[in-house]
Amino acid sequence: MGTLVYACFLSFIIPAPLTTGQVAFRTQFRTLPTSTGRDPDTEATFLVDDSVPTLPGASSQNITLSTIQDHGPVVETSNSSAGRNALQPDRGRGNVTIPLLNTTHVSAGDALVSEAANVVAARTQIQACLLMETGTNLWYDYDKSAAAVDLAIDYANEQILKEVGFHLITTYRNTANNVCTEKNHAVTYAMNLIDKGINCDVFIGGGCAYNYQSLYDVADFLNIPFIGLPAAGVGADADITLYTNLARVSVTHLNTANVIVRFFQAFNYTTPTVYQDLDNAVNQQLSLIVESYIENNFHSLHETSNFQEIHARTLTQEQISDYLKEGITTSRVFLLITNASSTRQFMLAARDIGLINGDYVFLAIEMFASAAWGAFTWHFNDTYDGAARDAYQALLIISLEACVDTTFEVFESAVKTASAAKKKHGYVYGPDERVDLITSHFYDSIIFYASIMRDMWRNGTDIFKIDNFIAWASGYSFQSPVHGTVKMDKNADRISAYTISALNPGGQFQAVFAAPPGVKGLVPLGQLRWVSKDTLPANSPRCGFDGKAAICAPKPTPKSVLAVAAVIPSLLVLAAIIAAYVVFKKFLNKNKDPYWWRVFMHELSMVQQGAGSKAGSQFVSRVGSTFQSKKSVDDDSSSTKAAELQDDSKLAFVMFTKSAQFRGNTVAIRELPHPLQRITHGLTDDLLPLKTAQHTNLLPFYGIAVNDENLCEYALGEVCPKGSLQALIERKSMNLDWEFKYSIMKGVAAGMSYLHTTKIFSHGDLSSHTVLIDSRFVVKVTDYGMNYFRPMDDMTPPDEEDEDRDFSCLLWRAPELLRRPILGGTQKGDVYSFGVILQQLILRSAPYESSLDSQRSDYLAHARDLVMEVKKGAHPPQRPRVPISACPIVALHEMMESCWEEHPETRPPFQRVRELLQKYLGKSGENVIEHLITRMDHYAGELEHEAEDKMKMFMLEKERSEQLLAGMLPKVVSERLRKGDMIYPEVFESSTVQFSDISGFAEILAAAPSAYITIDIMNQLYTVCDHVIEQFDVYKVETVRDCYLLVSGVPSKNGIKHAGIMAELALTMRKDVGQLTFPSSPDAKLRLRVGINSGSCVASVVGLKMPKYCLFGDTVNTASRMESHGEAGKIQVSPSTKELLDKLGDFFVASRGEITVKGKGLMETFWLIAKTSIH
């Protein structure tokens, strides 16, 4: 293959059991890198066949290399006189013939000693030796994890080492069964492997504290690395930095101790009591690490702490109570390094002596769920469950951060399947049994070793030199198929994230604090409700544990004070009254208006479409105390696709798309999602932080518009006429250059950095839809602190079966929030969303897309697939594809990728993002106004033309609306509405109402042969009647088929003329209707029946979508009775109308006599005969 190989014999190795005539030796060879890519410095083991006798005087022999699975390269010897340094490849067998110089042969069981050094071999196998304990009582049982090791070996050989030509094999030895004692045989097992000729390149194992100490000494002697699994207790007997050959890819007690101290520091706990259970090996080692870690690094804390060694297995409840009673004399915080059962006994004892009142904190450690220490739950199915649940309110549990993605579930299924398929593993999981986290660490240890071997080989580093391995392992990171990116610290220990959980109202432990790596303090994950208090208790009582603190000590009273003792009570009472008055006034001033944010709907005088609205937004104008809608015109033809994408969003993208006049100022409003929420005290508390949130890059919050039913309809904010960032990206006519993009990046980062320092804490829905641009092109982040109005459907984890859900609004959401949504989101989730926004700005595209040319249906279907891939947590994770060439600054591309890291703790905070942007971009994007002025001149002419066209369209639409409104309402009413006047119900003291009906009209319609004839008949009738009505001062209130309701004197008052106008109209209409004939009923005669009444009535506009001008009052009812009790072809009037007609003196009226009227009793009515005079 064109590779020059030379070798030198270095040392002999302890012989393995060999067949007759074979000897074993180890050689180190160097391969000069050529096109084959082979790595220099490789070690190999050879079996040398001595069955062929050496010729007298021969000084060299040839050996041929081949590979077998269990013993590595095999050297077959043959007698040869070949040159001493010649390489002779056997092309028939594919082997390499190697000359050996001056070798000495010995029988089986002896060593082979070489006097020269020119041996060459092609090393292909790496031997990993696993020395682990078994037993279900151990939390690192190898039998339960053997299947994971097999899976890891297969993956390492196929996916990691295959490209570099290596093959990893393992040999396992059981070092103990269900015990972990100081007396162990780990060294014996390790030496036994060497005796059998198994040359270990790495030791993996050492679960037991005593075993790993012994094994480490052997590994150190052999100069090979030792991967502790878990070796969690390293550091108990000596400083961790002394274990130079050690790497740990699992749980470490040092990390756990660090989290414990961080908890103490976060709440200023300086006098904790630590109960150390010596009956359990895990807890014993953890106790030693915790105490030594505190002593070595926090000496003052160690001096004030109380460490109590206990044997929890033999303690009675009375003895536990005695321990606690002694402990509360110096401490309020108790760290229980005990198993689940003992922890429960401590909590029950604490409850019995009254320590579950919120003044004491109990802290337990459950690194992960394991049968080795039991489940840390109050529920044991015994009679003490109720008391335990009450006691666990005062318990916090420290745990490793749980795996929340589906990758671990896939791994768990694979391990259980493999374990059941191969009986050699010695353990078969039950159907509902969970795979421990430690099992995945077994898997990761193999992946870690294989990955570091591959990377060292790629770098041209000697992979078997221990110093090189140590240098690479420190700070190394690798990709685990189960856990994603795994990082090691400077001591080659796995970096792990922890959480601290408390009991929630449902009786389950829920994480309330996170302890991510690299952070000194704790990160709150929600509101902690501690027993009956709002926060955790202080380190000590106000007056000290003995009640003798200086602040509470009594002070001696001077004799001069005794002289005025009689006056003091009066002065105290007076002072108390004054103080109470001052405090009360301050309270009133502070809480003067708890509803500072409330805006009533009638205060909004006009609402209209904003400049940044999407297509289909509605123009809203005020009518009474309600709003009425009307269709508008798309203000940007280039945004058609964006509008289509948003139409089905179901208010997922909340934008301020409308504007209104409020107290003389123009404000932006947006509709709140349905169902509308009522005002509650909780809402008042939630909105309080918005009052003080003031930043240039945050959209100011003005208030919530509330309707008459106390429902919140609109949110009010500052007007941003340039619309959202999403609309800006999609508006192709806008030249979005890098200067403008940099300005947007800096603006969003500045606003979010400030937001994360406020009580609002996080945004939770950051996207290009919630970033607005104001008139000065300043970025405004909106929709923050509005969790009260967030639809609960939005907090449901997405599922592939969700057919009606809009997945496109989830493209900005972080993977951990897709799996477990948190109302209000998290700060790290906001950083992830910002990373997606950066991709949009760099590519000027939709999220995860390089262009906007795809069809809407394809885009939405693709969004579902993308969201589900992100939620699953694939490896490598699903992220937008952004070419480095698309970004003018490479560092900006790297920052973007760091923002959407899979693990939240590895994402930079927004303050760091802001600093990096300032470092990378400098002053770019800061003078965006000056930059845009030159561009505004270019767009001025185009904008004026566009504005003129839009104004014409608006005026045309306005004219159509006014015409439609005038046809639906009286002219005077529609004119008042057009001017924006409020229409209130109005009382008209004098008016005349007419009801009319055509006798026999139903039969005429029934006789019509078709619907077309029916419509023609109706049109003829309406034409005649409407023609008559137009000649008089009458308003047609309503028409139902052949029935008419008319009024005169409303809304335009005309004295008492309305009675005469209505009478003359009735006479004219009776005549004209009677002359109508229809071809379908030529013999039918239409006879009009009319009823008229005069009096007072109330008129008002009723309805929103289809407003009507309606009449109310007894006058209307009496007019209806006049018509219904009348006769066909006659006009019946009431006494009130007859009285007005007599005053007018122009009509002939005849008495009908008294008739019984429904609802009125006996009433004299009159027939209107004719008009007697014409004026």
CATH entry 3.40.50.970 includes domain 987-1171: no
926 dihedral zone (left: phi>0; alpha: psi -120 to 50; beta): alpha
Beta-bridge partner residues of 620: 607, 629
| pLDDT of 1147 strictly over 70 | yes
Least confident of 261-270, 606-615, 640-649, 692-701: 640-649
CA 832, chain centre distance (Å): 10
* CA 658 – CA 714 distance, rounded (Å): 10
Which of 132-141, 425-434, 549-558, 664-673 has the highest mean predicted lDDT (pLDDT)? 664-673
- 754-778: average pLDDT: 90
Q: For residue 616, name the pLDDT band (cuts at 50, 70, 90).
A: very low
Cα distance between residue 304 and residue 228, in whole Å: 33
Q: 97 - beta bridge partners? A: 64, 88
* Alpha carbon distances (Å) from 293 to 138, 452, 565, 755, 990: 25, 30, 57, 37, 96
- What pairs with residue 1109 in β-bridges? 1101
Question: What percent of the chain shows pLDDT beyond 90?
Answer: 30
Question: Quick one: fold of 126-250+406-487?
Answer: Rossmann fold (3.40.50)
Place of tokens 């009906």: 997
Residue 615: is its pLDDT beyond 60?
Answer: no
Instruction: Summarize pLDDT for 454-473 with one digit per residue, the tens.
Output: 999 988 888 888 888 988 99
**Cα gap 457→483, rounded to integer Å:** 24
**What phi, psi does 649 have (nearest 5°)?**
-75, -15
Residue 1086, CA distances (Å) to 1018, 1071, 1133 in order: 13, 10, 20
Six token digits for residue 765: 């829905």
Residue (of 294, 293, 232) closest to 269 by Cα position: 294
Q: What is the pTM of this model?
A: 0.43
Residues 12, 25: contact at Cβ < 8 Å? Answer: yes
- The rounded distance, in Å, linking the Cα atoms of 451 and 147 is 20
Q: Do 378 and 385 form a contact (C-beta atoms < 8 A)? A: yes
Q: Cis link prior to 877 (omega < 30° from 0)?
A: no
Pairing of strands 677-678, 626-631: unpaired
Interatomic CA distance for residues 1090 and 1044, integer angstroms: 9
How many whole angstroms separate alpha carbon 64 and alpha carbon 45?
A: 13
Residue ranges in 170-327 assigned as alpha helix (H): 186-195, 209-222, 253-266, 281-297, 299-304, 317-327
**Distance (Å, rounded) from C-alpha 317 to C-alpha 328?**
17
d(CA 634, CA 897): 37
DSSP label of 433: P
Between CA 753 and CA 772 the distance in angstroms is 17
Say whether pLDDT at 291 is over 60. yes
In three-state secondary structure terms, 847 is coil
Q: What are residue 355's phi and psi, to 5 degrees?
A: -95, 0
Q: Cβ distance 1080 to 1019 under 8 Å?
A: no
Q: Are 1138 and 1166 in contact (CB under 8 A)?
A: yes
Residue 18: predicted pLDDT? 36
Give exposure, 834-869, as e/b (b: 16+ Cβ within 10 Å): bbbbbbbbbbbbbbbbbeeeeeeeebeebbbebbbe
Residue 113: what are its φ and ψ, rounded to 5°? -110, 130
Q: In 3D, which of 701, 247, 687 has the Cα closest to residue 477? A: 247
Q: What pLDDT is recorded for position 929? A: 64
* Separation CA 249–CA 488 (nearest Å): 8
Give the chain's mean pLDDT: 77
Q: Which amino acid is at 1116?
A: V
Q: What integer pLDDT is reported at residue 104 of this predicted model? A: 30
Residue 624 has pLDDT above 60, yes or no: no
Please state the domain extents for the chain.
5-123, 126-250+406-487, 253-366+369-400+498-524, 598-635+647-926, 927-983, 987-1171
Residue in this structure with the two tokens 């907090």, named with its chain if needed = 795
Query: What confidence tens digit (pLDDT) does each residue in 930-953 have?
Result: 666 666 666 676 777 788 888 888
pLDDT at 928 over 80: no
d(CA 597, CA 706): 10
| Tokens read off for 628 | 């009425």
**Half-sphere exposure (CA, 13 Å, Cβ side) for 624?**
14
Is 622 or 313 the better-scoring residue by pLDDT?
313
Average pLDDT over residues 445-452: 93
d(CA 988, CA 1097): 5
List of residues 6+ apart from 839 with CB closer than 8 A: 845, 847, 848, 880, 882, 896
Report which of 128, 113, 119, 20 is spatially closest to residue 65, judged by C-alpha positions. 119
User: Do 253-366+369-400+498-524 and 598-635+647-926 agree at the fold level?
Assistant: no
Residue 16 has pLDDT above 70, yes or no: no
CA distance 60 to 102: 6
What crossing angle do the helices spanning 910-921 and 890-899 adopt, rounded to 10°?
Answer: 170
Highest mean pLDDT among 174-183, 787-796, 1116-1125: 1116-1125
Q: What is the CATH number of domain 598-635+647-926?
A: 1.10.510.10
Distance, in Å, from the CA atom of 833 to the CA atom of 810, rounded to the nearest integer, reads 10
121 pLDDT exceeds 80? Answer: no
1059: tokens are 């009675």
Torsion over CA of 84, 86, 90 and 96, rounded to 10 degrees? Answer: 80
More confident residue, 895 or 966: 895
49-88 pLDDT per residue, tens: 333 333 233 333 333 333 333 333 333 333 333 332 333 3
Contacts of 854 (CB under 8 A, 6+ apart): 862
Residue 489's SS3 state is coil
Handedness of CA 958, 959, 960, 965 (dihedral sign): positive
CATH number of 253-366+369-400+498-524: 3.40.50.2300
In this prediction, residues 1008-1014 reach a mean pLDDT of 88
Contact by Cβ (8 Å): 209, 285: yes
The length of the chain, given as a count of residues: 1175
DSSP structure string for 705-766: EE-TTSEEEEEEE---TT-BHHHHHH-TTS---HHHHHHHHHHHHHHHHHHTTSTT---S--
The mean-pLDDT minimum among 421-430, 740-749, 1060-1069 falls in 421-430
Nearest residue to 654 via CA among 769, 764, 809, 792? 769
Query: Within 248-298, where are the H helices?
Result: 253-266, 281-297
